[in-house]
Amino acid sequence: MTASPAARSARARALALEAGFDLAGIAGAEAPRELAFFQEWIARGRAGEMAYLTSQRDRRADLRVAFPWARSVVSVGLQYDTPGPYSTDADPAAGWIARYAWGDDYHEVVKARLEDLRARMVAELGPMESRVYVDTGPIVERAYAAAAGLGAWGKNTCLLHPEHGSWFFLGEVVTDLEMAPDTPLADMCGSCTACLEACPTGALDAPYALDATRCISYLTIEVKGAIPEEHRAAMGRHVFGCDICQDVCPWNRRRRQKGDPVFEPREGLMGPALDALAALDDAAFRERFRRSPVKRARRRGLLRNVCVAIGNAADPSLRPVLDRLAADEDPLVREHAAWALRRLEESAADRARPAEAP
């Protein structure tokens, strides 16, 4: 089918919306300007243990290294926000699982719609070489999504959209079709620094810059061994991911859109009880988090995080839970339970200490 680059772009965007996405835009395959900072970010050690980033520096710095035939990227966004509470407003005694993980695994949902989009593009725009990705492959998704106009870079390093805030998943179709690129959005943060001020671990140490090694999402998901002790107290009750820098963002406080029903909270995932999570054996963990992003943490990782959350909750009624975890078969769980028990004792001592006279 013969069509101009502009006509292909317009049709691809329309087909993306027909496939069930909320946002769609086109970027050229050449590396966006933001990727010039990617190599420096890696070199400074800010990726931590994320070997899938550090081992693919050249491929991620320019997708044409992996796909020399690529000419355009169709970037899409899928809203996932739900009416549930923000982490900053929720029950302080409960655990916190990041909002994106309350429902079905977004990898499966977005991938299926991307395959549908690719089929629609072939049917209408003709044969093409292509690949589809959602949070996989050698692509820095936010950079291409920003170039495609899906959102402006926020100071919390998330993309911000006027209608969708930052509550949307990203995916892309890399194609050899020549398409007219869209225009990036202008900065939306202005003088606001709410996210920088709210981050409890100091991971956002400068506007538009993230030290992943201090990020609660990284600590609870990407770190596979022991969580550095210097960060544990600041993690609060987070057991999988973190929403703080998004929850305080004014663009997310002005909700206008609701996500797909597949992302509605499953029972027990929105503000879960810490003792209930601590009681999960391997079989119960697999059943509870089947087709959920939380399964990525595995039982040992989740219970490690639960131990830290209980220690930070300073609730003496949960001591029996920690005593049981301190005898768990996994040494990683035992070590974090021991830390949490010490923290409970310190909290009890602080409460028993007489208040200083004014």
**Catalytic residue numbers, as ranges:** 135
| Integer Cα distance of 257 and 167 in angstroms | 9
Q: Are 147 and 183 in contact (CB under 8 A)?
A: no
Nearest Cα to Cα of residue 98 among 299, 272, 227? 272
Instruction: List CB contacts of 144: < 8 A, sequence separation 6 or more.
Output: 27, 32, 63, 73, 75, 172
Strand partners, 160: 152
Q: Are 108 and 295 in contact (CB under 8 A)?
A: no
Secondary structure percentages of the chain, helix, strand, coil, to 5: 45, 10, 45
Direct distance between the N- and C-terminal alpha carbons of the chain, in angstroms, rounded to an integer: 82
Q: Alpha helices of the chain — where are they, by DSSP H?
A: 5-18, 38-43, 51-54, 57-61, 106-125, 141-147, 194-198, 216-217, 229-232, 244-247, 250-253, 274-278, 282-288, 298-313, 319-325, 331-352
Q: Are 61 and 35 in contact (CB under 8 A)?
A: yes
Q: Are 16 and 117 in contact (CB under 8 A)?
A: yes
Give the amino acid at 337: A
Instruction: List CB contacts of 346: < 8 A, sequence separation 6 or more.
Output: none
